[in-house]
Structure 1
Amino acid sequence: MKIAFDCSLVPGEAGGIGQYSRNLARALSKIDSENSYTLYILFPAFRRLTHPEDRKVDLPNAGNFRVVFKGIPVPFQFFRYLQGPGLPRSFREYGLGDIDADVVHSNTFCVPRFRDRKKKLIVTVYDLTVLTHPECHRKANIRHCLDGIKDAIKYADAIVAISESTKADLIKYLDAPPGLITVTHLAAGDDLRPVEDIEVLKSARLKYSLPERYVLFVGSNEPRKNIKTLLEAYALLPAGIKNEFPLVIAGGRGWLNSAIPGVIKRLGLDGAVRFAGYIGRDDMSAVYSGASVFAYPSLYEGFGLPILEAMSCGAPVITSNVSSMPEVAGDAARLVTPTDTGGLGEALSALLVDEGLRKEMRLKGLERAAMFSWGKCARETLALYRKVAG
């Protein structure tokens, strides 16, 4: 069987989709030496505008796995025109035209439509927040993602949902046939584990200007991640706790976040909140391990991968009681209503003042994270490839 696997969002500062594609490709390479895989990265000319080192990707590229960069060599302005409404479908097969595949696994909401009816299409859908929380997205992103999800329901031979929550949303909001959808849970990367080496922890703190003890948030700075409520809840803590445990916000630049500096100033948190920026993959274990508490009060998630990442590194977790987050966290995290500022503040306080509780949550988190693995996700995905290919 010949499989084309979409890794277009792996290069550069990989977010959730990039991490999913990277980890699943690596896991598949460990369990499948029989089938051939083309890991394709579409439109690198576009990515290069943001990430000059877009060809440096940590993907399997030997034996039955090969990495292929496919792009359209046109000016950026014309490329943006090609991305406009009504046109993308005409070009989505361009990059795949010379890739021989029995199964194509699309991961980026750009759902190809094939003239070759023998090619089978699998599409991964992460969440439906463009419908549940449209105010958290730019209009262009809503159109792009919603078109892609609707195309997946219409044209795909199978859909992968990354949680039962996402599957339920596909059925509820878009009337997707339940039999079309297979759920495969994600996992923290195999490289994420507790770091106890003092020098390694110190090196990460120096690199990202982190304090010795801190409350950590990891994620893109965008409205859905609910950073404003996190700031307001953190502001409720006594001055002594804030002095001992500054709040560190780490992650990509995000969008629709211009109000955040004003919120910090209004709350009098200048100096208490630090923005670490994007954390390199090699440093993630140390940054998570150094956190006294990991706070992730997202409004809505398709999965919530940072929850498992933090647990894998031994950080006690506070997260939301909505969408997929209880499904992922189980009883190993403190669950709060994401819009309840007071409740979130109380959860932060309870953990920060009680070292014994933090140790208890740390152990529960490590046990919970161990229940998820990329090996299991890869086996379930490979079974779906075989089923679809017949």
Structure 2
Amino acid sequence: MKIGFDMAFALTPANNRGVGVYTRQLIKAIQPLSKDYSYYYFRPNSSNTEDLSRQLKAFISQNNIELYHINSTFDYYNSHALQRNWFGNARLAVTLYDIIPLLFENQYLPLPHMKKHYMQNIEFVKSCDMIFVISDTTRKDAVEKLNIKPEKIKVIYGALCEHFSDESILSATTWNGSTKPYILYVGGCDYRKNLDRLIAAFAKVNHRLKSKFQLIIAGNIPEDQRFFIKLNIKKANVTDDVLFTGFVSNEELIQLYKGSELFAFPSLYEGFGLPVLEAMACGVPVLTSNSSALKEIAGEAAYLINPKSIDDIAQGMEHLLTNAEIRNTLVNRGFERVQQFQWTNVAKLVLEGYQQLLG
């Protein structure tokens, strides 16, 4: 059987973010389990819609593709809306990570043309034969918010990147950027990441604990966006105790996790929440939200808080920082929890979906 993988995301910024990482890990895990399948990879070389249509049709026809898997329609040059008739008789599978832009329209779809383009992509997703989702939370959103038939949706989850099982990297525990014990946050700074409340909560805790800790914000946050975050830091009077790492390598990221006292991830909404599993794999107690997929992925291995409550976030931080027993309990539960998310399991679920479509 001949499977086509859509690799258009690799030509966009998504290549170095979650979509790119997820897709490469999935492709790597699938191939050893499906020796009866042949895989082909489509990389468009034009941003023109007519050229894209022509190239796709030629790729499907010339390679006799029976099933085509689109890994992200929303990163398709951020301008195209794919059309079902471009794919001929090939069955279509698509991965849907979340519908966050639709849930927070004012922040992510503020202009009419942005909303129109997003909904065109949604309509294409709905036209596909199978929709893979990375959490039950996303499945529920797809059914309730998009009116997608439940039988078209298959939950496949996600897993850790392979470097989180590399013992030589995991053994490194020193990160030299801080001057005090630190709380770690990893991720972006867009609205749903909830950095304003995280900083305000940290300030409350640190003032109560006599400025004993620092908050490290890890990730490649642009300087113009960092400027506004710093205004909140200054307002909270914790300027000396909040640090930005900028871009970090895989090795540095693991060092940051392993050196932290606590991983804080009070996001308003996630379709999966991979950093939660990353922290658990590194033996760090996790504080995260009691909503969206974060509650689902964390299970009972994290301290759950209301992400909209600064007081709740602060109380959770203080409780974990000052209670060794609960910290140790969560660390042990975390090690067990991450074992439930393996790429081999993800690949098997995806292959089940392929077989269901191809008969």
Give the structure-1-normalised TM-score. Answer: 0.80
Candidates 19, 23, 34, aligned match of 1:17: 19
Residue matched to 2:94: 123
281-290 or 7-16, which moves further after superposition? 7-16
C-alpha separation in 2, matches of 1:316 and 1:342: 19
The answer to whether structure 1 residue 5 and structure 2 residue 5 are counterparts is: yes
Quickly say closer, same or farther: Cα 1:272–1:141, change in 2 above 3 A.
farther
Match of 1:58 in 2: none
The SS at the match of 1:236 is helix
Aligned residue-pair number? 343
- State the 1:201 CA deviation: 2.7
**Residue in structure 2 matched with residue 175 of structure 1 by the alignment:** 147
Q: Which moved more, 1:279-288 or 1:350-359?
A: 279-288
For 2:123, the equivalent position in structure 1 comes to 150
Contact kept? 2:57, 2:86, Cα under 8 Å: no
Kept after mapping to 2: 8 A contact 1:92/1:113: no
Q: Paired residue for 2:56?
A: 96
Aligned partner (choices 252, 265, 282) of residue 283 of structure 1: 252
Amino acid at match of 1:347: G
Q: Determine if contact 2:170/2:254 at 8 Å carries over to the other structure.
A: no
- 5 Å matches for 1:314-325? 314-325=283-294
- Please give the alpha-carbon distance, in whole angstroms, between the structure 1 residues aligned to 2:201 and 2:55: 47
How far has the Cα of 1:244 moved from its partner?
A: 3.4
Residue 293 (structure 1) aligns with: 262
Change (3 A) 1:314 1:303: same
Percent identity of paired positions between Structure 1 and Structure 2 = 30
Deviations 1:111-159 (A, max 9, x none): 4534452211111111111121123315466544432122110x20111
Give the number of the structure whose residues are more often helix, by fraction. Answer: 2
C-alpha deviation, 1:251, in angstroms: 2.1
Structure 1 residues 279, 135: CA separation in 2 closer, same or farther (over 3 Å shift)?
Answer: farther
Which AA in structure 1 matches 2:254? Answer: S
Q: Is the 8 A contact 1:128 1:169 kept in 2?
A: yes
Whether the 8 Å CA contact 1:242–1:272 is kept in 2: the answer is no
Structure 1 unpaired stretches of 5+: 41-68, 73-78, 83-87
2:199 to 228, 231, 235: 231
Alignment of 1:108-119 (within 5 A): 108-109=72-73, 110=76, 111-119=82-90
Partner of 1:65: none
Deviation readout 1:330-377 (Å, 9 max, x if unpaired): 111111111010000010111112233222211111111111111101
**Do the aligned partners of 2:159 and 2:274 also contact (CA within 8 Å) in 1?**
yes
Closer, same or farther in 2 for the Cα pair 1:198/1:157, shift >3 Å?
Answer: closer
Instruction: Indicate whether 1:330 and 2:299 are aligned.
Output: yes
Q: Per-residue CA shift, 1:26-51, capped at 9, x if unaligned? A: 211332233122244xxxxxxxxxxx
What SS does structure 2 have at the residue aligned with 1:371?
A: coil
Distance (Å, rounded) in 2 between the aligned partners of 1:183 and 1:197: 31
Map of 1:70 onto structure 2:
44
Code of the aligned partner of 1:183: V
Conserved 8 A contact 1:195-1:289: no
Q: Secondary structure at the match of 2:84?
A: coil
Long gaps (5+) in structure 2 = 77-81
Deviations, residues 78-133 of structure 1 (Å, cap 9, x unaligned): x5xx5xxxxx5x45434534432221111222445344522111111111111211
